[in-house]
Structure 1
Amino acid sequence: MIRTISFFAIFIVFGACKKNYHPRETITISIEKFKLDSTSIRAIEIVNDSSLVYAGSNGDIGIITSSGKLRATKKIITDTIIPHFRALAFNKEAFYALSVGNPALLYQYKNNQINIVYKETHEKVFYDSMKFFDELNGIAMGDPTDNCLSILLTRDGGKTWGKIPCENLPKISDGEAAFAASNTNIAIVGKNAWIVTGGIKARIFHTADMGLTWSVYQTPIIQGKNTTGIYSVDFFNENKGIICGGDYLDKFGNSANKAITTDGGKTWKVVAENKAPKYVSCVQYIPNTDGKEVLAVSTNGVFYSNNSGETWQKVSDEGFYTIRVVSKNIAWLSGNETIAKMTIN
């Protein structure tokens, strides 16, 4: 009995020590821009606290330091083709950049060398996003070339990639595809991946086993036109996630363009209905804030939420395509001919 009470007392003490995170009421930001000529940048990924890698629309891949210094920049041309990159991922071994359009070319950038590790030729081919689960397992997604999404997997750290046959995937609806707006069509937590779509349908495709099996869920996000749907997804844990989007031809429309889930994407609740932010191209949780602090960007500006996306504050009029958050105090952004470092206070 004494032992039981002791363990119970220890449990109570440790439980009492755990405190809920209290989010900041608001934030102020400063943005330092670094200009990159003749390229549009929708794919960036954090390498470490002081640098990031980017891939642009003019066949350019590079690393930029926190001081704005470019290093190890590559300009790629393959058989007169200048690849337009909107998807980028990396593991400890290499960076991977995937081009949009026909042919789809997936490049490995390792030890300052460039190699093509996957090529797909099809009149409908168009890849939107890619990400790694871990050092060996990666995933890329794109628009359908048949009656399913195009989904690539690697099991060897990116050395080889293969496309999942349509018989192993849920069927796509007519007019359903994806948007290569910010390289955030895919969110990963552990072995889970969530992929978002738009167009005539705006849905969630979910795998809990790194791409072996799939489920598909409906969402309330605006849909029905080629330009409507989900543009970005992020998950804080296996249950809590957020999706954002809208209609890029109506960037000031804000009906049914933000939603949150607490059950792993099975059901969604529209938030901040008819309130800012309006069209959103990228949404990301801020690390170490218990999933309460969130940032969203578009060409309309930068927006902050301190209650998991329920309500938002505009913190900058500067427009960007995408954002990656290093910490509570640092984030990186990119846009047309621009990479920027954002300090958050």
Structure 2
Amino acid sequence: MKKLLYPVLFGVLFISCKKAEVTEFKLAFSKIAATDTLLKDDSISIRGLAIDGSKAWYGANGGKYGWVSLAGETDFNGVAAHDTLLPEFRAIAQTKSHVFILNVASPALLFKISKDGKFTKTVYTESGEKVFYDCMKFYNDMEGIAMGDPQNGCLSIITTKDGGETWQKRDCTGLPPVAEGEAAFAASNTNIIIRGDKTWIVSGGKKSRVFYSEDKGKTWEVFDTSIIQGGEMTGIFSADFYDETIGFAGGGNYEKPELNTGNKILTTDGGKTWETVGEGKGPGYISCVQFVPGSNGSGLFTVGRNGVFYSYDRGVNWKKLSDATNLNTLQFADEKTVIAAGQKVIVRFKLE
């Protein structure tokens, strides 16, 4: 027995040492070196962005949509209306040839727009007291998904398999039931995250969870989170996954934007479990969070009502990069270029 004891002890120590290993985090940048205003409109409010090469497409209030050029070319702006209604577009997605914009509230109006801006078509409509769509994404050029607030006890899910030409609404059969007071926030078009065939949808409100599908929405699981929840304006407002395992979600309490505890959570197992990070550090309310490309899942960039923040170590520590509090959403154009939009503006941050 004694002869066996030493190898066993050595094995335990070896395993313990392996578990104690810590990822080495490196600072990718330390400041915003330059800020360019790409669009200024005192009447515009933007919560949806999509980067398409040298263009940044947006959907906005008042039926407004369009693109700003990232290469100094001519911008484009249009208006999509329904009779006399000017929708508020907060969800946006794209395929190789088209951009899709979807509004909040009823009636839901989903427009398909050719990327040359010459063709616009309404491809889905839905009316009802509880109709309110939050986010839309595509898996590929043919298959897409949009989600909205609950109806009939489950999240509203519509899907397309023909490049966005037609959309079908899922009934609640096969969809997980929502909890009382559980919904979603149309804050930045980042409620849905897609990596390959895998889909994550985040909810908020009195219950804030992660809905997960590994087969493009055919079957679903639901995972609890440790983010602050319980009130109508609490929970996850935005999430991102660096790959199929490392994910981050942020939000908090919209009515207490300075609160920076319980509002930042991290997963390293594909969303099954979440840990609270950065307690009392960095941003309070987070409207949008995105992983920094090429950061090995360690860099995070956020906008919200407390300013612009960056973390190089998966949300443990934070650095404030800008006092801008009017930005709702962001997308990376490349590893050192961020396009952000919100109230009255679209801006470009050059990082250094």
TM-score (norm 2): 0.90
Q: What's the offset of the Cα at 1:72?
A: 3.1
Aligned partner of 1:35 in structure 2 is: 40
1:116 to 122, 143, 149: 122
Query: Following the alignment from structure 1 to structure 2, what is the Cα–Cα distance between the partners of residues 61 and 340?
Result: 16
CA contact (8 A) 1:127 1:180 kept: yes
Shift of 1:252: 0.4
Aligned counterparts of 2:72 and 2:180: Cα–Cα separation in 1: 44
Task: Please tell me whether residue 332 in structure 1 is matched to residue 339 in structure 2.
Answer: yes
Deviation of 1:71 after TM superposition, in Å, equals 2.8
Alignment deviations for residues 237-296 of structure 1 (CA, whole Å, 9 cap, x no partner): 111100000011110011210000011101000001122211101000111111111101
Give the match for residue 88 of structure 1: 92
CA contact (8 A) 2:259 2:285 kept: yes
Runs of 5+ consecutive residues of structure 2 not aligned to the other structure = 1-22
SS at match of 2:173: helix
**Which residue of 137, 148, 151 maps to 1:145?**
151
Matching of residues 49-128 of structure 1 within 5 Å: 50-66=54-70, 71-110=75-114, 111=116, 112-128=118-134
Distance 1:160 1:310 in 2: 43
Deviation at 1:73, TM superposition (A): 1.6
Residues 105/70 of structure 1: CA separation in 2 closer, same or farther (3 Å cut): farther
Which letter does structure 2 place at the counterpart of 1:98? L
Aligned-pair distance for 1:22? 5.8
Preserved CA contact (<8 Å) 1:122 1:145:
no
Q: Confirm or deny: 8 A CA contact 2:110 2:124 kept in the other structure.
A: yes
The match for 1:227 among 215, 227, 233 is 233
Q: Structure 1 residue aligned with 2:259, among 253, 262, 287?
A: 253
SS in 1 for 2:75: strand
Matches for 1:196-215 after TM superposition, within 5 Å? 196-215=202-221
User: What is the CA deviation profile of residues 177-200 of structure 1, one whole-angstrom value per residue up to 9, with x for unaligned ones?
Assistant: 000000101111111111001111
Counterpart amino acid of residue 327 in structure 1: D
1:298-334 CA-to-partner distances (Å, cap 9, x unmatched) read 0211101111222111111112101101222111000
- The number of equivalent residue pairs is 325
Q: What CA distance in whole angstroms lies between the structure 2 residues aligned with 1:296 and 1:205?
A: 22
Alignment match of 1:46 (pick from 48, 51, 55): 51
Tell me the alpha carbon deviations over residues 5-47 of structure 1, each in whole angstroms, 9 at most, x when there is no partner. xxxxxxxxxxxxxxx9862265210221230241100101101
CA deviation profile, 1:140-167 (whole Å, cap 9, x unmatched): 1100121000011111111111111101
Q: Judge which range, 63-72 or 140-149, deviates more.
A: 63-72
Letter in 1 for 2:75: R
4+ runs of 1 displaced by more than 4 Å?
67-70
Secondary structure, aligned partner of 1:287:
coil
% identity of equivalent residues: 43
Alpha-carbon distance between aligned partners in 1 of 2:157 and 2:282, rounded to the nearest angstrom: 33
Task: Work out whether residues 25 and 312 of structure 2, in 8 Å CA contact, stay in contact via their aligned partners in 1.
Answer: no
AA of the residue aligned to 1:44? L
